[in-house]
Homo-oligomer: A and B are copies of this chain.
């Protein structure tokens, strides 16, 4: 049947296409991360901490697009398994700054290589101009959606 997903009007919907692309990316990432015993959210959390050490639970949650509660259970597991550390008491306020351990950094290294290969494949068939165009367009979509969301509370 020559895999031809649903194709009447949905193919003309940018929203559907966006979801399809995101879904394909997630599936590809899961595919390369599974052998490493890592989920996408798991990886996202570690990557965020590598690039911005000391992020709080809530900040990590926003960065990984999950709720604080979900990130909290993940962080507890990561802390238990020795990938990250959090101070016993909050240095200021209630915010607990999280940091990668050596083990966490080592684990992240392998994952980064795997994920980068996926992203490279995704960028493969695109010219430099198309890439910068993709950035511009995605940012435009995000801004439009966020603005309207804030405008109507």
* Complex contact A21–B141 (CB within 8 A): yes
Q: What is the interface of chain A mostly: helix, strand, loop, or mixed?
A: helix
Which residues in window 111-136 of A have CB below 8 A to B?
115, 118-119, 121-126, 130-131, 133-136
Q: Are the CB atoms of B137 and A134 closer together than 8 Å?
A: yes
**Residues 15-42 of chain A: 1 if any B CB is under 8 Å from the residue's CB, otherwise 0?**
1011111111111110100000000000
Residues of A within 8 A of B (CB-CB), count:
58
Question: When the two chains form their complex, are residues A28 and B145 in contact, meaning their CB atoms are under 8 A apart?
Answer: yes
Whether A20 pairs with B65 at a CB distance below 8 angstroms is yes
A102 touches B (CB below 8 Å): no
A110 at the interface (CB under 8 A from B): no
Q: How far is the CA of A124 from the CA of B137 in the complex (A)?
A: 11
Q: Is the CB of A121 within 8 A of B148?
A: yes
Chain A contacts to B: CB under 8 angstroms: 5-6, 8-10, 13-15, 17-29, 31, 47-48, 51-52, 55, 59, 62-63, 65, 115, 118-119, 121-126, 130-131, 133-146, 148-149
The 8 closest A-B pairs by CB, nearest first: A22-B22, A24-B145, A6-B63, A8-B51, A23-B65, A17-B138, A121-B148, A134-B137
